[in-house]
Structure 1
Amino acid sequence: MRLPYEYAIIQAVPRIERGELINVGVVLYNQRADFLAARTHLHEDRLRALDPDADVAAVAAALASWEATCTGAGAAAAMKPGERFRWLVAPRSTILRAGPVHMGLAEDPAIELDRLMAILVR
């Protein structure tokens, strides 16, 4: 049975004033399966092409925090998966942000997340 899910692309915007970005991950939420996860991959050369002075280590650490938030680590421990997803995809003006939320249908959310990573990020 295919279940509805929501996802957003995680984007790195190293210089907000320029508006240039690269896709660095995907966060996917499936309420019925109680599934929330993020997969990330930072193309360091692409990031440096947008900003040669980008702090790659800081961006990588921030990406790791997205994945940790999905699992309920730290301050997200008291939040339900849907609340964590809404918090992650809320608009923000930081080096990492979520793009628009999209919908889809999938039988297995983890497999779908891997598929989205392959076509949208890698």
Structure 2
Amino acid sequence: MTREPQRYEYALLQVMPRPERGELVNAGLLLYCRPLRSLVARVHFDRARVRALDPGADLDAIETSVKLVAAICAGDPDAGPAAAEEIGRRFRWLTAPRSTVVRAGPVHSGFTASPDAEADRLLALLVLPPG
């Protein structure tokens, strides 16, 4: 049985090691599809790209924060109270504007029948290095 495409929203997960400079690296994405009751995260933390923006960045702390966002998306009970919220509230909380080192970019939308496949496609297109 083939599903009909449903509307989804996504935001890039960004690392901005020095917020005062405004330079960032895409480190993943969050994808929420309400009709299919799906919230997925895909992450790829590229230490070398972050180091290029800030040689003194605490890469371990930043990577931990990126992984925490993915754990909250997955509803991991060890990820804190936000992970226990229903998926729509989790997505809105994670994509709320913040001026921190790890944050979500603007929310965009599209249509898909498979949130997991679409998250993989967007990760390859927008986050992973070319090649």
Structure-1-length-normalised TM-score:
0.97
Residue 48 (str. 1) matches residue 42 (str. 2): no
Shift of residue 77 of structure 1? 4.1
Listed one character per residue, the Cα deviations across residues 15-44 of structure 1 (whole Å, up to 9, x for unaligned) are 000000010000000001110011110111
Structure 1 moving runs of 4+ over 2 Å: none
Residue 8 (str. 1) matches residue 37 (str. 2): no
Report the RMSD for the aligned CA atoms in angstroms: 0.8
Unaligned runs of 5+ in 2: none
Shift of residue 56 of structure 1? 0.8
Unaligned runs of 5+ in 1: none
Q: Distance in 2 between the 1:113 and 1:56 partners?
A: 25
Match of 1:91 in 2: 97
Shift of residue 78 of structure 1? 3.4
Number of residues paired by the alignment? 122
Residues 41 and 74, structure 2, Cα contact 8 Å, conserved in 1:
no
Q: Distance in 1 between the 2:36 and 2:82 partners?
A: 19
* Aligned-partner residue type, residue 89 of structure 1: T
Q: Distance in 2 between the 1:98 and 1:77 partners?
A: 16
Shift of residue 72 of structure 1? 1.7
Match of 1:110 in 2: 116
Match of 1:19 in 2: 22
Match of 1:37 in 2: 40
Match of 1:78 in 2: 84
Shift of residue 76 of structure 1? 2.2
